Amino acid sequence: MAEIAPHGQTVSPDTPETGVQFAERSPSAAWEQIPLGSAASFFWVWFKPATVPQGLVIRIPAESYRNALGRLAPAGGGLTIRTLLRAAGIDARMVSVCYLYGAPCEGRNGTSPAFDHPLTEPAADADPNIVVLVDAPVAPIPPTVSQPAGAAVGADLVKVFDEMEADWNASLLLERQLTLARKQLAGTLSRLGALDRDLSPEERLHGDRQDKSDWQEVRRGLKDAAVKLSRYIKEHDLGETSAAGKKVGFQEVYLQFVVPRRPFAGLLQMHREFEAYRKRLQTLLTNMSVANTNVAQEAERRAQQVLTRLWSRARSAQTKTTGWTAHRWSTHKQRDSI
C-alpha cells in the first residue's frame, strides 16, 4: 500500500496508481480495512456497494484523523482524498465525482484541487462517508458473487432517491387520511357501545323468544365489530404512524439523505423499507375503511332492525290495551283545543 505523502509534497495526478484495477474488483462483502502507512492509521472501504455499483464508499475512523494530525504538520496535509484513492488502488484520473461528507466535487480528470485539501473530521451530525464514483468500465461480476436483491435499481441513484421521495410524500398523505379514518372509527365505536345494551323492560315484555334470541346474536355482532374497530384504532395510535413505530426514523432518513440526495450505506434496503412503509399505511387505511363501512354498519343495521321490530310490537300492544290509535289521539287533541 502507498505511504502518506510527506508534508508539502503532492502526488501527481499522472502518477500510476497501485493495486488491482477497479474494473477487475469484485464487490465487497463487508467493509475492508486499508492501512495508511502504519497499523495505527487506516480507513474502511466498500468497493461497488449495491447503491454505488460503479464506485466505492470510504469511511475514516476518528483515530486516523488524530494520527494524521499528530505525525504530520498541524494542517494534516497528508490525509487527503488523493492519498485515500492511492491507498485503495484507484486512479484519481478515473474519478468523475466525489461526495465528501455529502458535498459533491468534480474529479476533473484527477486535477481537482479538492483532492489535495487536508481532510478534517466531519461534524457529529454530518454524513461520515466519502462516496467516490469511478468513470471506468465495470467488469462482469463472477457468477459466484451473489448480488443483493434490487442491486439493479441501485445503479440509478437519481431514480432511487426520486422513488423514496415519492413514497414518503404518499405516506404523509396516507397519514392524514388515516387520522380522519381514526376519527370516524371512534364515532362509530361510540354508537356501537350505545347499542350494545340489555333490552328495556318494555322491550322484553313485548318481545317473543325469537326477538330475544335475535338480540343476543346482534349484541355478539356489535361486540365483534367493536373489537375490530378498537384493534385498528390501537394500531393507528401505537403502530406505524406513531412515535413508537418507524415514522420518526423514516423522517430523519428523508431529511438527512433523501432531500440532499446523499448516498449512504444501506440505501437500497432503506428504499425498500420506504416502499413497504407506504404499503403498510395503505393496507391499514383499507382495513379501517372496510371495518367502518362493512363490519360496523352491518352490525348497526341488524341492531336497528331488531329494535324497530320490538318498538313496533310495543306500540301495537299499547294500542290494543288503550284503544287509542295515533289518528284517534290526534283527532281528540284537536277537539280539545276548540
Q: Does residue 103 sit in helix, strand or coil?
A: strand
Q: Are 134 and 109 in contact (CB under 8 A)?
A: no
Q: What's residue 13's pLDDT?
A: 39
Q: What's residue 97's pLDDT?
A: 83
**Looking at the structure, do residues 267 and 188 belong to the same domain, yes or no?**
yes
Whether residue 151 lies inside any domain: the answer is no
**Looking at the structure, do residues 192 and 319 belong to the same domain, yes or no?**
yes
**Domain boundaries, position 81:** 22-138
Whether residue 173 lies inside any domain: the answer is yes
Q: What's residue 144's pLDDT?
A: 37
Whether residue 335 lies inside any domain: the answer is no
Listed residues 79, 109, 138: the one ending a domain: 138
Q: What's residue 136's pLDDT?
A: 63
**Looking at the structure, do residues 124 and 172 belong to the same domain, yes or no?**
no
Whether residue 276 lies inside any domain: the answer is yes
Whether residue 8 lies inside any domain: the answer is no
Listed residues 74, 103, 138: the one ending a domain: 138
Q: Are 240 and 281 in contact (CB under 8 A)?
A: yes
pTM of this prediction exceeds 0.85: no
Q: What's residue 304's pLDDT?
A: 85
- Which of 197, 171, 189, 191 lies closest to 231, judged by CA? 189
Q: What's residue 260's pLDDT?
A: 86
User: How many CB atoms within 10 Å of residue 207?
Assistant: 21
**Looking at the structure, do residues 258 and 178 belong to the same domain, yes or no?**
yes
**Looking at the structure, do residues 134 and 190 belong to the same domain, yes or no?**
no
**Looking at the structure, do residues 210 and 93 belong to the same domain, yes or no?**
no
- Give me the residues of the chain with pLDDT under 50, please: 1-19, 72-77, 138-155, 329
**Looking at the structure, do residues 103 and 249 belong to the same domain, yes or no?**
no
**Looking at the structure, do residues 205 and 300 belong to the same domain, yes or no?**
yes
Q: What is the pLDDT of residues 127-157, one digit of tens each?
A: 788 888 888 654 444 443 344 433 333 346 8
First-to-final CA distance of the chain: 116
**Looking at the structure, do residues 210 and 267 belong to the same domain, yes or no?**
yes
Q: Are 86 and 14 in contact (CB under 8 A)?
A: no
User: Which residue reads 415519492 in cell numbers?
Assistant: 166
- Count how many domains the chain has: 2
Whether residue 29 lies inside any domain: the answer is yes
When computed from its CA atoms, the radius of gyration of the chain, rounded to whole angstroms, is 35
